[in-house]
Amino acid sequence: MLRVSILTIGDEILIGQIVNTNASWIAQKCVEVGASVIEHCVVGDSEEEILETLKRLYNLSDIILITGGLGPTRDDLTKPVLIKFFDDELIFSDEVLEWIKEYYSKRGINEVTERNKNLALIPKSCTPLKNLVGTAPGLLFEKENKAVFAMPGVPKEMQFLMKEYVIPYIQNKITSRKLPTHIFRVLQTCGIAESVLADKLSGLEEILNGVNVAFLPSYKGVRLRIEAKGEDVVKTELAIQKVVDFIKGKVGEYIFGEGEVSLAQVVGELLAERKETVAVAESCAGGLLGGEFTNNPGSSRYFLGGIIAYSNEIKERILGVEKQVLQKFGAVSQETATQMSENVRKLFKSTYGISITGIAGPEGGTTEKPVGTVWISLSAPDKTIAKRYQFGDDRQINRERSVGAALTMLYAYLKRLEI
């Protein structure tokens, strides 16, 4: 196994002002190519603590991936620590200065400030890595068959350096050293409960043959993580493939995608293939369903837009929900949800209309309709469906689950699934 550890440097992360999305992004990319991530560690802007952690991780790891602390100010301690650790010295790199000048001149700036010139001061023994999306270069140290990469903490810059240099480097090491591997695959399901999934997958235990399968339920559906360690990449991949094939044979229709793909993306691509369109009518979700569709590049092929109808008056006047329906059944009801989805479909002339109306909380619950009650409706050319959901008492989670349930409803319709 190629052992990779991830070291994140910065007070901002340590004190919780920023969530460490870099570490999970890096881990995912490393795992995808068969490396084994052994630890993430976050320490603050303290030379002593960075150095201690670096020493410790160096003993445990083949590769250390550092982010943060590479900027031009005196808070940025990664370079000084690496200098100490590798018993190295700073030199001025004309090559790096050229990169920085090039970066600025492409953006119409022809003067490099003194502070930014500091970025061209790099440890003598490292290989600088050209950063096309920022000014601080990545740094690569190789020693004793180990490697330490230092990257800026800005996600875009880190991601660029990872894709351009780190991932190919890791792939190369695994291949050339013929290292044992640890492979993960993730199948994403929707519209099926964990227990039903487990029932449908009976017989799975017998064919595993060293492969592990974990069931990971979340608000968005159950993910299946299939994982195996092995001496040989090809053999390990085949063993995993056998399990994946078994699962797909049993519950393939509930698997909407593999890996990082989102349900909105999959639903969107299905719509685009069918040259169909969708519009949304959102009450408690407040625009999040539209936001989820339009997260995906190219969503204008199938997403026309929608109405956010947060008040009853807007539901009536703009979405055309009948006053009597609102009065008799209330805003959170099958009847209102149905009129919302049917009317937004007519208004936008889309193939499908989806509506969400519910009580996200913390206020607004009643005995009959407690917080977490959500009606979701899908209006299609041949029929309209509406379903009541009972989520929990957390506002944010209720909103997210509503969006997930609405996407699942459309996915199930397109795939002719019973949910």
Instruction: Give the footprint of its own copies on residues 308-367 (CB under 8 A).
Output: 308-311, 313-314, 318, 347-348, 360-363
Interaction of residue 307 with its own copies, rule CB under 8 A? yes
Q: Which of 2, 9, 42, 267 touches its own copies (CB under 8 A)?
A: 42
Residues 6+ apart with CB under 8 A from 418: 412
DSSP label of 352: E
Q: How far is the CB of 155 from its own copies (least distance, A)?
A: 9
Nearer Cβ to its own copies (128/361): 361
Rounded Cα–Cα distance for residues 314 and 138 (Å): 53
How many whole angstroms from its chain centre is CA 2? 24
- Options 169-177, 242-250, 280-288, 322-330: segment touching its own copies (CB under 8 A): 280-288
Q: How far is the CB of 93 from its own copies (least distance, A)?
A: 27
Looking at this protein, which amino acid is placed at residue 72?
A: P
Q: Which of 3, 29, 345, 369 touches its own copies (CB under 8 A)?
A: 29
Interaction of residue 156 with its own copies, rule CB under 8 A? yes
Beta bridge partners of 97: none
Q: Which of 394, 414, 417, 419 touches its own copies (CB under 8 A)?
A: 394
Q: How far is the CB of 262 from its own copies (least distance, A)?
A: 12
Backbone angles phi, psi at 383, to 5 degrees: -165, 165
Which parts of 168-227 interact with its own copies (CB under 8 A)? 184, 186, 214, 216, 223, 225
Q: How far is the CB of 308 from its own copies (least distance, A)?
A: 4
Nearer Cβ to its own copies (28/334): 28
Q: How far is the CB of 33 from its own copies (least distance, A)?
A: 12
Rounded Cα–Cα distance for residues 175 and 129 (Å): 22
CA distances from 186 to 17, 19, 244 (A): 30, 23, 9
Interaction of residue 12 with its own copies, rule CB under 8 A? yes
Question: DSSP 3-state assignment of 381?
Answer: coil
Specify whether the CB–CB gap between 329 and 335 falls below 8 A: yes
Q: How far is the CB of 124 from its own copies (least distance, A)?
A: 30
**HSE value, Cβ hemisphere, 13 Å, CA-based, for 320:** 10
Nearer Cβ to its own copies (90/392): 392
Nearer Cβ to its own copies (72/287): 287
Helices (H), ranges, 33-166: 47-60, 78-85, 94-106, 114-117, 155-161
Q: Regarding beta strands 121-123 and 90-92, do their DSSP bridges make them parallel or antiparallel, or are they unpaired? A: antiparallel
Q: Which of 2, 3, 9, 13 touches its own copies (CB under 8 A)?
A: 13
Q: Which helix (H) or strand (E) holds 147?
A: strand 146-151
Secondary structure (DSSP) of 170-229: HHHHHHHTT--EEEEEEEEE-SS-HHHHHHHTTTHHHH-TT-EEEEEEETTEEEEEEEEE
Looking at this protein, which amino acid is placed at residue 215?
A: F
Structure tokens at 331: 């805003």
Nearer Cβ to its own copies (132/238): 132
Which parts of 227-256 interact with its own copies (CB under 8 A)? none
Which parts of 73-92 interact with its own copies (CB under 8 A)? 75
Nearer Cβ to its own copies (76/335): 76
Which parts of 115-134 interact with its own copies (CB under 8 A)? none
Nearer Cβ to its own copies (304/385): 304
Nearer Cβ to its own copies (5/408): 5
Q: Which helix (H) or strand (E) holds 9?
A: strand 3-9
Q: Which of 288, 354, 359, 412 touches its own copies (CB under 8 A)?
A: 288
